[in-house]
């Protein structure tokens, strides 16, 4: 093994015996030490009181509900507030899903397993989030999905949701299992765009009655849900004894006792019922199994198309084939949805299904609107869905987290957070209008 010598170093002769034989080149040169210059800003000095004063202006603490909501910058933070303020049973009804909750976890993971592909040097000084959905303009490209049992989460319930949607210029959807009536929601938000979600009952006369009431109250869109032939196994609700009306068990009382605001609102407002239905006692699953029709077919969809004169949307589409078929049977729009993971566990994920469905309907020259829900927890999630071909999105849990966190103000905050997220995400993508989003802006990552 040979050593490699520095070419600048000259080896001494073998007979060298003193420093006198060392050439000048071999002698180390002394290092040049320059005087250090200390910048004026770094010279030590005694601080002046006038310099300290601006730094000692402590922010005055705020303890109001509004202040906590304003500090929330994500839907997850609203969820944390909601969990502290809401008893376990209603919180779990919102937060949970069916069986092992695999579908819900996958739906949320789907929005994380993507990569945005931004464009640069675009003018994004103004971001326009407006979009057309089912023949009318929405100020934002999302609306509020139908949710049942809503006043159980927080006593303002559907009234807070519909009024917040009205103020934001977006659609609000009332559920058949809502805790405010069709007429009351129309009165609460008279200038809002109200939609009605329908479960087709075995008793068609009662279904027809609801359809007529929705039309008379000014609802322009009917959303029929088709993924509830039977109830999903929502195990959190089973463990919590979720019933209609709520059962005040010892566990319920103890759990609510350290949430005085929820307790006070629950006791001092109108008793909780499904406002569009007759009074019913039993579990949510029992109600679904006794009321909803497991024999529902495409012939019933034809009957509904003939009966309802407004826009008809089918919610619960989970395959390309069914998307095509409901459009062939007269649907003006479809919602890719697995019911928030609350029905069939391990169901298809709407976000994964989206590119296939939009490609298929485009090949059919279909004009049907494609919407989706499930898993949405940020404005960036909505932007990604729009880029992959969705015309619109619907939020359910995200809206309910805001409701539980602070009633109407909490729902307003949810909408503000999502709007701010979308505005920032689109600007960073180099896109100024919703219509300019396209699949080139998103790449789906493989696990």
Catalytic residues: 339
Cβ–Cβ < 8 Å for 175, 272: no
Strand 114-116 relative to strand 442-444, pairing: antiparallel
**104 Cβ contact list (under 8 Å, min separation 6):** 97, 340, 341, 342, 374, 375
Q: Report the C-alpha gap between 403 and 94 in whole angstroms.
A: 11
Alpha helices in 36-156 (DSSP H): 49-52, 65-71, 75-85, 88-95, 102-112, 150-153
The span from the CA of 207 to the CA of 406, in Å, is 34
Spatial separation of the C-alpha atoms in residues 158 and 251, rounded to whole Å: 27
Strands 171-174 and 193-198: parallel
CB 311 within 8 A of CB 220: yes
From the list 307, 304, 287, 308, the residue with the least C-alpha distance to 296 is 304
CA–CA gap between residue 47 and residue 56 (Å, rounded): 13
Residues contacting 82, CB < 8 A, separation 6+: 91, 94, 400, 401, 402, 403, 404, 405, 410
- CA-derived radius of gyration, the chain: 31
Q: What are phi and psi of 339, to 5 degrees?
A: 65, 35
């Amino acid at each position: 093994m040979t050593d490699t010598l520095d070419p600048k170093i000259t080896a001494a002769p073998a007979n060298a015996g003193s420093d006198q034989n060392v050439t000048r080149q071999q002698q180390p040169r002394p290092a040049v030490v320059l005087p250090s210059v200390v910048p004026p800003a770094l010279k030590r000095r005694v601080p002046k009181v006038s310099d300290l004063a601006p730094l000692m202006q402590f922010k005055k603490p705020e303890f109001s509900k509004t202040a906590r909501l304003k500090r929330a910058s994500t839907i997850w933070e609203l969820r944390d507030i909601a969990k502290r303020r809401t008893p376990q049973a209603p919180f779990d009804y919102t937060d949970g899903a069916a069986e092992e909750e695999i579908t819900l976890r996958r739906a949320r993971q789907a929005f994380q397993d993507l990569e945005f592909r931004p464009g640069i040097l675009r003018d994004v000084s103004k971001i326009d989030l407006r979009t057309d959905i089912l023949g009318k303009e929405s100020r934002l490209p999302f609306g509020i999905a139908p949710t049942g049992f809503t006043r159980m989460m927080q006593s303002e319930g559907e009234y807070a949701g519909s009024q917040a949607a009205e103020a934001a210029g977006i659609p609000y959807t009332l559920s058949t299992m809502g805790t405010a009536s069709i007429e009351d929601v129309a009165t609460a938000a008279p200038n809002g765009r109200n939609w009605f979600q329908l479960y087709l009952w075995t008793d068609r006369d009662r279904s027809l009655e609801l359809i007529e009431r929705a039309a008379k109250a000014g609802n322009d869109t009917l959303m029929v849900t088709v993924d509830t032939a039977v109830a999903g196994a929502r195990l959190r609700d089973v463990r919590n004894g979720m019933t209609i009306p709520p059962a005040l068990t010892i566990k319920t009382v103890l759990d609510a006792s350290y949430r005085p605001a929820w307790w006070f609102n629950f006791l001092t407002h109108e008793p909780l019922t499904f406002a569009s239905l007759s009074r019913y006692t039993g579990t949510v699953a029992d109600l679904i199994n006794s009321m909803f029709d497991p024999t529902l077919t495409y012939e019933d969809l034809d009957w509904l198309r003939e009966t309802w004169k407004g826009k008809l949307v089918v919610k619960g589409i989970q395959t390309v084939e069914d998307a095509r078929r409901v459009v062939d049977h007269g649907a003006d729009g479809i919602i890719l949805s697995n019911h928030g993971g609350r029905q069939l566990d391990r169901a298809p994920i709407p976000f994964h299904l989206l590119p296939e469905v939009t490609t298929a309907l485009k090949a059919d020259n279909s004009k049907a609107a494609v919407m989706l829900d499930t898993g949405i927890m940020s404005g960036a999630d909505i932007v990604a869905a729009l880029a992959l071909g969705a015309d619109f999105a619907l939020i359910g849990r995200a809206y309910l987290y805001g409701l539980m966190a602070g009633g109407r103000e909490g729902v307003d905050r949810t909408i503000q957070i999502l709007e701010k997220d979308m505005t920032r995400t689109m600007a960073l993508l180099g896109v100024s209008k919703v219509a300019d989003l396209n699949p080139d802006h998103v790449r789906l990552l493989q696990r």
